[in-house]
Structure formats: structure tokens, C-alpha cells
Structure 1
């Protein structure tokens, strides 16, 4: 066996190959023309093993289907000590190099078995020919108990003629929109094609029920669902293909990928590979978006920084303290951008819905785009021309007006430094909601709306006092109070978020 960094960014372990050209008794001969042949691979992994373990399997000619099942022990561990957890996937004869075209599927720890043939494959895996050569089953020992991890992998080859090729049905890149307008969409969703419980049909139906115009498919580490979404898209729902790239140092969304394109995840922040795959996404017109940066689950905390990001997810599912922390970090990044003149990072919010009880569209993005088309939606998010809503019942407009000029969300208003600028927010759908205006100096204005949930809040400032202004609309506190603010903008004094905007920027010029 060998240990090294060559096959992927993170450390990898490659075991000795298993051959199907050799019979169980050690004799060799021609491959059968029909029937099944099974080999069993078993072994032991110690605590501290490499991130990925490759089990090479020599596949002979004439194979119609490969089937793999696996199991591993789960010894008892002391409270607070991680127990065994091991993912699985497979690469074909084209190789396992980082970014390799040999990728044929990944199911993480969600499934204990999978099958691939020319005609079909288990969700998470790519149908196609079972060509002769060295395939690699990949184990991902996510956590290893102090006692180590015993694994058993069973590989069965079915010989025979390949069936008909799988017919891909990619979704169209355009739907019937309203021209230049605001479009609602959830950009982080899962189905049974990774670790979700819903079928694609159920997710598409849920997106429509939530009043969304578009959605993005983001399965963990696989593009396998892309080829089925065509039948669920329609003129009323744009379905965009993407991926949630699940690394050991955080998760990120690759949004707007060309259908069928896969993004590798086998690296850590120290491996200097994230920038490479960020460029791959951008070359295709897509977006790179760190997801749930403060999620408490193992390997979810974001460690790659934001230099190679196009936006960041600051609100993931029902509002929690993780989201408060993410918004605070994002706001700090906005302050850095205006101080240094560097590019600013737009905010996004998505449901990350996996199963019943997790609401599709809670939250979602409302994007100003030229059309209901993949490229237009990506352009709108990239420019920060979007705000985040908890549901389609929430409606909002936000703008800055001064010196005869007007700017909206994600735009810049250039005015004399002391010229009065009116910041205006109109909101519907948040009964007793509290509106907060936040600048680079913190919260500067707070005002509540009445029981109708509708209201208009106007606040006056100048470009000399505020480099940007963003808005939040909060629900009342659990005790029914609207919450209290101070100049430090302590968000813990407020109820859950109902809506959040990207900023309007104010730039001062010399007085004429």
C-alpha cells in the first residue's frame, strides 16, 4: 500500500489492487460472458488515517454492471468522543487525480450500497459503460473511533452485454420570466441524489408551492441529479444545476454549473486547491458561495477565507445563533471592503432543505435580474442585487435617494458628502416587525411596523456619515417585545430575521 498526496489534495491511502481476472482459487482464465462474480475487501483503519482510502479494483472486459456494498463496525466510545463514520464513492478507469474525469459517483454516508450500469445507476452515481481497467472505490473515514475502524466492502460484477445508454434530461437554462424584474429562488436544496429524503419531483413541487421562480439543485459532491431535472422544470420554474462541495474544512455551493459538470471536494484549506476549483466554477459562469460558515457539525466550519468567493450564505434554514454570527462576520467584511476599496461580498440565504419538516424557501433570495434565465440570475447575485426573505409573504423595497439621484440594493449612490440622503424601506408581511438600518458604524435607526405587517420607514443620513446602509426586518422577541438596539447593533437583542438586504453604498464627492 502507499500513502501520499498525489491522488488528491488531502492525504490519501491507496491499497493493493483486487483483481477479477483471477478466480478465488488463484487460477486465471478468460472472463465469463454472463453471471455474477463477487470479491470481498476487508481491512482496518487506525485513528488518524488519511482523509481518503482508495481500494483499486481491476475490472475485466465484458462487465455489464458493478454493484458495491459496504459496512464498518461502530464500537462504543466515551461520551464526547467521535465514533466511526465512513463515506463511500467510486472512480472509474480514467483515474483518481484531483478533478479527474473518472468520477462516477458519491453517496457519502447516506447509503450502504450502490450499482452502476450503462442504463441506470443508484442516485448519487453516474450511469455509463463499465469499461475495463482499474476502478477505485473510495472510502472517506469521516471519523475514526479510538479503537479504529474495521471495514468490509463487497464488489459484485455482472457480466453480459451492456444495456441501452441512459438518456440525460437536463433542465433548460431559461423559463418564461417577466423581463427585468425581481425573481425568488432557493439556491441550496437536496434530494435522494445525495442525503435528502425528498424525490426531485417533491422538491420541484415544494419550490412551486413556496412561490419561487427558480431553484438550484445542490447535491453533496455529485452531479448525478442534473440529468433528471429536465422533466420537473417548466415555464413557471427555472431549475439551475449546481453542487454542494463538501470538504473537510467547510462546505461551499457551486451555483450555475453547466449541466453534468462535477467539482472535486478532496482537499483541505492547507492544500491550496480551493482557488483552482473556484476558477473552474467561474469559467463556466457560475458562482462560489461558502455555505453555513458556522454550522456546528464536524467539518462544516468555513476555513478557506473569502478571497475566492462570489457571495456568502449568511442565513441557512430557520433563523439560529449560527446565522447571527454569520451576518456579523459578513458585516465586518463589508466594513473592510469600504475601508480598503476592495470588492465587497454579497449575502445570500437558502433553506438547505433535506426532508419533510424542513421548509423549501425558508429562506430564499429575491434577485433583480434581466430575465428568468440561469446567466441572468447568476449576474444578479454576483452584483449583490438581491435580498433575503423568509417566505414569499414578505415583500420589501429598499433604496437611497439624494441630490436628485436614486440607488437600490447592491448599487452605489454618489453624492456630495454633506448632501442629505433619504434611506427608505417599504415592507409587507411582517406583523409587528422591527426595521433596522445598519451602516459601517453599526445600527443607526430602528422603527417598528404595526399589526398589519406593512409600513414605510424613512431615515436621513449623508455620505459623510455612512459608507453603506443595509436593512433588516426582524420579528418580535419571544416575549412579544420589538427588541432594543444600540449603536453597536447587538443583534442578540432582536427576534428572528424576516428579511435582510444587501447594502446600498454611499460615496462622497467634492461639493460642486
Structure 2
């Protein structure tokens, strides 16, 4: 994870009912209107800000509303600042700033995000959301025709709007902010027409399709345009991608021209809460998923159910990421899969795979459903590489629903790049099963586990079961080979495969080693399991 993502993720936050929302009247600050109307007058009467701005006249001109205040350490996660919009406003433009006093080493400094809700209100999961840019931008504008990336074009209706501040971190000295809202009057422009991507591309029927399900653009904290991300996906040999900008669906309406018969673009969102990030994959185009909550608020299960009702998937992202607000605290009972590999391989990916594997053994013991693993690049900007890694999914065709169904069923494996290819099967008692499937054989029947792989020069193949690593074998210098290992269902409840690069010192690595260094080199490929044996009756 790059410094850029740390900086931007530290600006995408979450939690609405945790301590109650502070309104402008409860803050140690003031609202100043350009015309001189006092904050009290504006707050007391819905028309206060409208009258103040009305001096500019509905025929043209503009007026400003300035909101200032101070937040102390312990302020609510989200602070909603009201301002009134009169009839005749063509565009709302917002800019903001806050102080950054010096802090002692090891003490968080000020970091404050921003977004906006329209006259439909700030209710959690409600209809009033109009945009979010976290800490990535200091200004934005919204009109009927267009909006700054991260924000939604649409009608500028009269009523009480709210700027939302997310004080992600507050220094011991407090945080003083200044928000300037400019109301520009005039006739509304033409209606914005979104160009949503189609839900189908030209597929190969039932086949393995490569895709990156975690990508960012200029619509959140990335620096690539959607067209640039699509070009990078094609260069990486991908068949599909998922749009997952932080806390906003604003990119959805821009993907149409970048999709095509050779590239399926699925709409989604990275929901960035204060207790971890999750991917909402396969959202209906334009759908917004709220992020303003913590694990203690019990909002996540409700929103997860909504995503599933819409046909999407809930996938915790980089659950062991060490940065503030990134570590996953919601549990996995409401998840459909988990992202165990995020970007170039690091120690937190190692932890994620270990935690996921422990969950497989627990699911096996309890006879309940298991959680498939996925891997994605989380690419924001160059030099981050789209498709490193990506998920290879067995789907009935290259459509939104088929790809999501393959991920949900665990019919997938993770590849470092398109140069890595593999086939993983288990065969016994005249039957064969592949990744994500069950080989129903008697407990003592011999089972041959076979992995054919290419694209990992000098790599190491590992077979792991609910007991841990059971077989290891090195690949030749050209990186292609077939590894076969025999077991039974009585000895292995499941088998999964890893393919590792050599360690930095050139050695293949060895299992069960003790010491300060990781025993293995970076991951090149990782499969979901094949389950062995006849499940107990009723399971």
C-alpha cells in the first residue's frame, strides 16, 4: 500500500449514530453569511440563508455562506453543517480549509474529510448523498449538468443542504475549520446523462476470466481517468474490472465509453468506514452505499443485506492493513468473500491468508459455509500496476451476474499477473473436482491432488490442508511443471495450493521454520480450496 493510499484512506471515514451528530449550533464556531445575516437568524429560519443569498438575485450573480468552527479531540466522526439553498441556484461550489498545528512525534495531526448532502437529508443510507472526496480535494462544485469527480450532478433544489466534515484525526490543540459555500444563480443547464457500462461483454462461454475487483480513479483518490484504468486493464490481459472508488458512485456514469466487447466493467464502491474498508461489488449503476458508522453501531449488517438484495457481493478489503481505520473489525458473518491479497505481496497479506485459512478450518469443523478468497491490485496511480494481483474466476459467461456468481461460489484463484497460469484438481473414486468444489469420496479412498502451473521461474509449490502444509515441491527454472500428491479425505478435509517465488536470498523457502524472516518468498498464485469427503448428512 502506497503513501498515496495511506494519505487518502486517512481521509475516507465513517459513523453516524455513534455519538450523535453535531450540528452547527452545537459547535464551538459560527456560521457567517456574506450579507451579514447572523448564524442564529439563519439557523432559526429555513429562509434565512435564502434571503441572505437572495441579494444576488435569481437572474444571476452569486452569494457566499461561510461556516467556521472548532472541533476538539473526541468530536463526532461526522459533523453536518447546514446551509439553506433558495430557489434559482444554478450551482453550489464549496471550498474548505483547516489548521494543521505542529504535534509531538507519534501524535496524530489534523486530518479532515469533506462531502455534501442535499435537501433530502443526512439519514444513514438515505437519498440525500451528493458526493464525497475525503481529504483528496479542497474544493468541489455541483450543478444539474456536471460535478467535480466524486460528486453527483443533478438538480440543485431549494431547501436545507449540509456540508459533512469527517474529522479523521484531531490534534491535541483542536481543529479549526473554514468552509465557504458559494451559491451561483441562473437558469439550470441541461440534465446530466450518465453513460453506464453494459452488464455483458463478449465472453467465451463457461471459462476462466481474469479480473481486478478493487480499482480507483480520479472520482476518489486515484489519479487515473476511467479510460486510463480501462487501458491498463487491457494491457494487463484482464477480462473484467470493478469500479470501487471510495464512498461514492460518481464514476459509474463515466465508464460506458471505456467498456467494450473485450472488457466488462462492473460498478461498485469501496466503503471506507472507521473500522475497516469493504468492497460492495456489483452494485446497480449509480447506487450509493453509506460508510458513516463503526462496528459498534450495528449498521453494517443492514447495509450488507441491501447490497445482496441488489445482487452484489460484500468483500472485506485488506483486513490486516496496519493503517488507521483500515483494519477489519466487523467480523465475517456478513461477508461473501475476503480480499487476502492486496497489491504487491507484503506481510499483512501473509497475515490475511493465515487468518483466512484458519477460517476455512473452522467452517469445516462447524459444517457451515466457507469464505472464498480474492486478490486485487487496489491500484490508484502510477506506478501501481492494474491487475497485480487479480482474481481468475470460472464463470458461465462474461457477464456481471456470472462473474459475481463465480466469486461467491469460490470458483476462483489469485494470480500475480496474466503470465501465471495454473490448473488445480483433485481426483478419486472415479470423480474429479476443481477449485471451490467438493470431491465426494469415501474417507479412505485415495485422492490425487494435481497442480499444473507455468509462469513462476524457480518457484515453490505448496499443498496445504486443515493440518497445514503437507507437501512442497520446487518448479524448474522455466517456471512450468506439474506437481501431484496423494492423500485421503480422512487426512485432509480440504486442500489448497500456493505457488511462491524464491526468497530474496534465492532459496525456495522451507515450512515450519522459526526465526525473524518469513519462511517463504512472495506469493505468485493462490487457490481457493478443494474440499474432500462426503459432507455429514444434512450439511
TM-score (norm 1): 0.96
- Per-residue displacement from partner, 1:337-375 (whole Å, max 9, x unpaired)? 000001100000000000101010000000000000000
**Secondary structure in 2 aligned to 1:13?**
coil
CA drift of 1:384 comes to 0.1
- Matched-pair contact (CA < 8 Å) for 1:51–1:140: yes
Partner of 1:115: 141
Partner of 2:6: none
Q: In the superposition, relative to structure 1, how do residues 10 and 304 fare at CA in structure 2: closer, same or farther (>3 Å)?
A: farther
Correspondence 1:8-407 to 2 at 5 A: 8=17, 11-16=20-25, 23-24=35-36, 28=51, 32-33=57-58, 34-407=60-433
Partner of 2:443: 417
- Per-residue displacement from partner, 1:279-335 (whole Å, max 9, x unpaired)? 010001100000001111110010000000000000000000000000000000000
Partner of 2:7: none
- Matched-pair contact (CA < 8 Å) for 2:247–2:270: yes
- Per-residue displacement from partner, 1:369-391 (whole Å, max 9, x unpaired)? 00000000000000000000000
Aligned residues: 505
Q: Can you give the 5+ residue segments of structure 1 that lack an aligned partner in the other structure?
A: none
CA drift of 1:15 comes to 1.2
Q: Which moved more, 1:161-170 or 1:13-22?
A: 13-22
Q: Distance in 1 between matches of 2:309 and 2:517?
A: 38
Of the candidates 493, 500, 504, which is equivalent to residue 478 of structure 1? 504
TM-score (norm 2): 0.91
Q: Can you give the 5+ residue segments of structure 2 that lack an aligned partner in the other structure?
A: 1-13, 39-47
Q: Distance in 2 between matches of 1:508 and 1:200?
A: 47
- Matched-pair contact (CA < 8 Å) for 1:188–1:253: yes
Q: Distance in 1 between matches of 2:445 and 2:239?
A: 39
- Per-residue displacement from partner, 1:258-279 (whole Å, max 9, x unpaired)? 0000000000000001000000
- Per-residue displacement from partner, 1:168-201 (whole Å, max 9, x unpaired)? 1000000000000000000000001000011111
- Per-residue displacement from partner, 1:89-132 (whole Å, max 9, x unpaired)? 00000010010110000000000000000000000000001100
Q: Detail structure 1 runs of 4+ shifted over 4 Å in the superposition.
A: 5-10, 17-22, 25-31
Q: RMSD over aligned Cα, in angstroms?
A: 2.0
1:448 and 2:457 aligned? no
Q: In the superposition, relative to structure 1, how do residues 481 and 95 fare at CA in structure 2: closer, same or farther (>3 Å)?
A: same
**Secondary structure in 1 aligned to 2:305?**
helix
Q: Distance in 1 between matches of 2:71 and 2:317?
A: 30
- Matched-pair contact (CA < 8 Å) for 2:393–2:413: yes
Q: Distance in 2 between matches of 1:147 and 1:234?
A: 52
Q: Distance in 2 between matches of 1:92 and 1:289?
A: 29
- Per-residue displacement from partner, 1:404-427 (whole Å, max 9, x unpaired)? 000000000011111000000000
Q: In the superposition, relative to structure 1, how do residues 7 and 440 fare at CA in structure 2: closer, same or farther (>3 Å)?
A: closer
- Matched-pair contact (CA < 8 Å) for 2:80–2:162: yes
